Amino acid sequence: MVTPELHPVERAVRISGADLHYWTYRDDLAGADPRVATGPGAPDGPGAADGPVGPVGADTVLMVHGLRGTHHGLELIAAGLPDHRVVIPDLPGFGDSGPMTGQRHDVVGYAKVISELIEQLGGRQRPLVLLGHSFGSIIAARVAATAPELVRKLVLINPIATPALRGPRVLLSGLTSAYYTLGKRLPLRAGHSLLSNRWVVLAASRAMTRTKDKQLREFIDTNHLRYFSRFHSPALVSETFDASTAHTVAEHADDIHLPTLLIAGESDEIAPLAGQQALAARMSNAELVVIPDVGHLVHYETPGPAAEAVQRFLGTP
């Protein structure tokens, strides 16, 4: 399996002290102005130009990746939305984006960054569609709850609906937490080596993968090995992991009244289906789509059905 050639445009802007890199797919849609915002402290980088960014059309989708991910993980879903302009950042401290200064790398800090990016893209004039996967679903939910004027519709893929440190996953979550804590406490090089260990990354990848397709499994493993360890420091990734286990989308369920699409994997052990069904029932304007025979890697294993569900939910641009 090969990632589609989408030819995204890379840009960079400084937000919360971070050199935030993001990629725009199908930049010609929505009458988009390809310039990035500039101002005090804005870095020179790919796509940088004088003047403010143009307004975002109603069919722009901003995607937020999950823990230890980068923008690459959501490209297959972006490829399945041919009628929409898609923007995907690397969250601060991951991929090509630098860490924040003066902000914690937690749900509040990341939600602030995403809200500001939406504003930089002209979201106050034309609210956009916000999509989050896994940990990104918690961030997206907070943005939708605290700044609903910036978001037209909300899409949550494999949303984290139940606390990781409760229920049947508590032992595994506790072990994972200890793993990240150890990585943080070791000397920097040793900690990074531990958290980036090839066999640990492969074990995590294969534990989450449900497909029996050998080629697809190899594709997923390759992507995890290539991108899963592109984090700034063990301390940063540990801080982000703690945030991912301490918070859920459910915290914001009563404050989100936007049209919301939840896409669940039938056999997701990280975000169990029962919790997502309860979340959908609790939210005032939500629908739940369940994709069979897939777990927490909907964006890799079943991007086609997921993109079809998003296309239908968004309707005609």
pLDDT in tens, 38-90: 333 344 444 443 333 433 444 799 999 999 999 999 999 999 999 899 999 99
For position 21, which CATH number holds? 3.40.50.1820
**Are 148 and 271 members of one domain?**
yes
With CA atoms as reference, report the closest residue to 88 among 25, 35, 139, 134: 25
Give per-residue pLDDT as tens, 176-190. Answer: 878 888 888 888 999
Choose one of 242, 270, 296: the last residue of a domain.
242
pLDDT at 138 over 90: yes
Q: Which residues contact 175 (CB under 8 A, 6 or more apart)?
A: none
Whether 1 maps to a domain, the answer reads: no
Whether 2 maps to a domain, the answer reads: no
**Are 152 and 105 members of one domain?**
yes
- Averaged pLDDT of the chain: 87
This prediction's pTM: 0.89
The count of domains in the chain is 2
**Are 209 and 308 members of one domain?**
no
**Are 18 and 112 members of one domain?**
yes
**Are 72 and 89 members of one domain?**
yes
Distance CA 183, CA 242 (A): 13
Q: How confident is the model at residue 170 (pLDDT cuts 50, 70, 90)?
A: low
Q: How confident is the model at residue 294 (pLDDT cuts 50, 70, 90)?
A: very high
> What distances in angstroms separate CA 218 from CA 32, 238, 294, one per listed residue?
37, 27, 16
Average pLDDT for 184-201: 90
Residue 204 lies in domain:
168-242
**Are 300 and 213 members of one domain?**
no
